[in-house]
Amino acid sequence: MFDDNPRAIVSDTARVRGAWIEDRAVGPNAARLETDPLEPTGSAEVDDALLGLVNADRDVRQAAALTLGKLAHRAATPELVARLWTEQDFFVRETLSWAVTRVADAATPLLLNALAGADTSARVQALHVLSKIADPATTDAILPLASSDDLDVAAKARWALTRIGDPRAIPALAAHLGVGDDSTRNGLTRDLASFGEAAVPTLLAALTKGEPHLRRHAAEVLCRLGPDADSTTDALSEALNDSDDEVRLSAAMALFDFATPTSQIALARLTESADPRLRAIANRAQVRTTHEL
């Protein structure tokens, strides 16, 4: 057990930290962590929990993270955030992330500072926690990372932007329509669709003015949006004549999901299409209409 006396806490902390250096701390606060002892917070309970975060036993670290989250003591924030970059156990790290959200106002500047670093894992973890805090004020700092050359950082930045839900992120996300492999495109489809109707004007512009790969992806997102995009019925009806067969297919699927009288009329003309996929969608739409009558 550690002494509750502040001076003893500092002494014990220095000893623990000396052993902890072997863990090779990484991230924006690594140098500080290796040299500085814990500063007493004024609360023996908080100080004891902070020491628990560097215990070799993961269960002790987990319990310490839970305690710090419950206490939500602002003075513990720097150490809590610092441990995000070094904790190797996933479940403990998730508990630390939750504890950091409990002191969001104090933690956010530290998380934003980490975004400017070079360590991928620290940047991704910072974005992960910022997505949980979901403060629109952090949007401007995260937006540039959606185009990062580091694919892990870029993917996490896009995810964070969708969790924050600030519509200002839509054009930045749409700039990546049609880019990357299937996994990347599917992730972007999900991300843009999460904005619902707010994403429609940007997607409509890409559908009607973009290159084939942009039109194709925009149609896919509109299809994913479903009824939220029913204002694009006319544009999607026009897309049924697109020169790209995948654009035509996505447009037909979107119109089928809308299930409105106008979209049904647009699909009706596909019953004689040379593309068997389009014929199948049109026939399904007719069968559905018959059952609804």
Could you tell me if 43 and 187 lie in one domain?
no
CB–CB of 163/132 below 8 Å?
yes
Q: Do residue 162 and residue 30 come from a single domain? A: yes
* CATH for 216: 1.25.10.10
Give the structural domain span for 147. Answer: 1-166
Mean pLDDT of 17-32: 37
**Dihedral (C-alpha) 135, 141, 146, 151: value to the nearest 10 degrees?**
-100
The percentage of the chain sitting over the pLDDT mark of 70, rounded to a whole number, equals 87
- Give the pLDDT score at 223: 86
Tokens of residue 205, six digits: 């512009």
∠ CA 221-267-214, nearest 5°, is 30
Go through the chain and tell me how many residues it has.
Answer: 293
- The confidence score (pLDDT) of residue 195 equals 94
Concatenated DSSP letters of the chain? ---SSHHHHHHHHHHHHHHHGGG---STTHHHHHHPPPPP-S-HHHHHHHHHTT-S-HHHHHHHHHHHHHH--GGGHHHHHHHHTT---HHHHHHHHHHHHTTHHHHHHHHHHHHTSS-HHHHHHHHHHHHHH--GGGHHHHGGGGG-SSHHHHHHHHHHHHHHT-TTHHHHHHTTTT-S-HHHHHHHHHHHHTTGGGGHHHHHHHHHHS-HHHHHHHHHHHHHHGGGGGGGHHHHHHHTT-SSHHHHHHHHHHHHHH--HHHHHHHHGGGG-SSHHHHHHHHHHHHHHHHH-
Mean pLDDT of the chain: 86
Domain boundary among 166, 189, 216: 166
Average pLDDT over residues 15-32: 37
Higher pLDDT among residues 80 and 4, named by residue: 80
Residue 204 · residue 176 · CB < 8 Å: no
pLDDT score, position 23: 40
Q: How many domains does the chain have?
A: 2
Asked if 32 and 155 sit in the same domain, the reply is: yes
Structure tokens at 28: 């924006």
Nearest alpha carbon to residue 21 among 2, 11, 40, 35: 35
- Rounded distance between C-alpha atoms, residue 285 and residue 112, angstroms: 49
Indicate if the pLDDT at residue 121 is higher than 70.
yes
pLDDT of 221 reads 93
pLDDT value at residue 37 = 62
What is the predicted pLDDT for the residue at 180? 86
More confident residue, 7 or 86: 86
Distances (CA, A) of 290 to 208, 266, 278, 285: 32, 16, 19, 9
Q: Give the model's pLDDT for residue 293.
A: 56
pLDDT band at 228 (very low <50, low <70, confident <90, very high): confident
The pLDDT value recorded for residue 248 is 92
Q: Are residues 146 and 258 in the same domain?
A: no
Domain final residue pick, 166, 198, 224: 166
**Are 96 and 235 part of one and the same domain?**
no
Does residue 24 sit in the same domain as residue 107? yes
Question: What is the residue type of 259?
Answer: A
Residue range 71-111, pLDDT digits in tens: 999 999 999 999 999 999 999 999 999 999 999 999 999 99
Of the two residues 252 and 289, the one the predictor is more confident about is 252
If you search the block for the tokens 């502040």, which residue do you land on? Answer: 6
As a whole-number percent, the residues of the chain with pLDDT over 90 amount to: 69
Q: pTM of the entire structure?
A: 0.75
Q: Return the higher-pLDDT residue of 260 and 76.
A: 76
> According to the model, what pLDDT value does residue 41 have?
82
Confidence at residue 132, expressed as pLDDT on a 0 to 100 scale: 97
- Confidence label for 211 from pLDDT (cuts 50, 70 and 90): confident
pLDDT tops 90 at residue 143: yes
Q: What is the pLDDT of residue 139?
A: 97
Q: Give 83: exposed, middle or buried? Use CB within 10 Å, 0-12, 13-18, 19+.
A: buried
Last residue within a domain, chosen from 115, 142, 166: 166
